[in-house]
Structure 1
């Protein structure tokens, strides 16, 4: 696909992120599965192949410009939906140990199918809410990195993610131009939950120029036992 090849070439030139032929083939397989399944179960509003490449795949990979992810890191993708960004990060960095968390069972069924058909190893999934997982031994404060994209406002998001991260670990929130205002509203919540704003990466999506912001928060202190609150509360009454 010529348009895709041009898009990938431009992306590589701009970012230094080069996709190998076998990675491109796997991503093509993923996109086909996503388009097919999306006709039965709504996973994404973006259905054109080139736009999936641009707005899902390449957007997900921007994280590698925002921070260094150590080899073999344990990564949790909170509210992964169709596996975005977690499954896409795994295809680009097979060394990562990726854990996908999703509360809608129909989406878990899709993830199960994709992981099997793509033959991915070192990636698992769980049908759960983040608030439940964040209180469970074996998951609480056990991940090196938490990622979340298009899930919730920042003051809700930090309550989903920070309880899952180990001390010294990080969370990265994928945001658009409204991210700065969200972050301002979440400053106190971040502090309460043991986090500190580390940095904000700003850039643009290839091919369309949409503004992107990746917010990195480092976990400096243990999350108090009170958090996360019971399911639904972080969204209904965000910490302010």
Structure 2
């Protein structure tokens, strides 16, 4: 297993993504806080530092190979959990204006603690469900980019994310090798919600053999007022 320095060197060589020293230091602080808090509240099953770097941090940064994110973009991370990927993207790109959405209060408490201790600005931690946020003024159709990782199938995920994205913006779903089948099953839901499938990035997790897909959905028309449906419905009865 490579140490952190080796992982970062190989990641930069393979992707061209370089992490400045200040970002590396903040990411180290995040990992330390995650490991400490994880002893009290289950945030991740991955606890070894090198694996957190590989499976959480570097995996999150693969999005910068999938699409170009403009300076100052407004980003929402739906079902962020421990802040993955949204908080990690904010640390790497401080210019981003980020909203982290999480339905479990104990996880939001962790996120608030990390944001305070790292001194991050222009980042909001919300205790909410995507179905509720997608109907609120100031959030509905107001984001340049919505991201989600390890949250739900694509036909559910698009109902969580697309109502939050402005026309002309995008959502990106982090997926494994089954993403192609999920995307096919979600084709009608994507159209219904105002989206259109964009680029699909395929690659592998840094330092490993795990396959990764990053699926981009462009928002072309406004989402009908019917969506998102009430909390729980997108998961219970996915659009087909």
TM-score w.r.t. structure 1 length?
A: 0.99
3-state DSSP of counterpart to 2:197:
strand
Would you say 1:157 and 2:163 are equivalent positions? Answer: no
| Cα distance between partner residues in 2 of 1:17 and 1:5 | 14
| Cα distance between partner residues in 2 of 1:153 and 1:51 | 25
Deviation sequence 1:213-238 (CA, Å, 0-9, x none): 00000000100000000000000000
Matched residue, 1:222:
222
Matched residue, 1:93:
93
| Cα distance between partner residues in 2 of 1:3 and 1:140 | 42
Q: Which runs of 4+ in 1 moved over 6 A?
A: none
Matched residue, 1:144:
144
Pairing of 1:36-115 with structure 2 (within 5 A)? 36-115=36-115
Q: CA deviation at 1:206?
A: 1.2
| Cα distance between partner residues in 2 of 1:43 and 1:138 | 29
Q: CA deviation at 1:209?
A: 2.0
| Cα distance between partner residues in 2 of 1:167 and 1:3 | 42
Q: Paired residues, what number?
A: 239
In structure 2, runs of 5+ residues without a counterpart are none
3-state DSSP of counterpart to 1:19:
coil
What is the aligned-residue RMSD (CA, Å)?
A: 0.6
Q: CA deviation at 1:125?
A: 1.2
Q: CA deviation at 1:160?
A: 0.2
3-state DSSP of counterpart to 1:58:
helix
Deviation sequence 1:47-66 (CA, Å, 0-9, x none): 11000000000000000000
Q: CA deviation at 1:152?
A: 0.3
3-state DSSP of counterpart to 2:3:
helix
| Cα distance between partner residues in 2 of 1:209 and 1:99 | 31
In structure 1, runs of 5+ residues without a counterpart are none
Deviation sequence 1:135-192 (CA, Å, 0-9, x none): 1111100000000000000000000000000000000000000100100100000000
Would you say 1:120 and 2:120 are equivalent positions? Answer: yes
Would you say 1:12 and 2:12 are equivalent positions? Answer: yes
Matched residue, 2:204:
204
Q: CA deviation at 1:20?
A: 0.7
| Cα distance between partner residues in 2 of 1:47 and 1:75 | 27
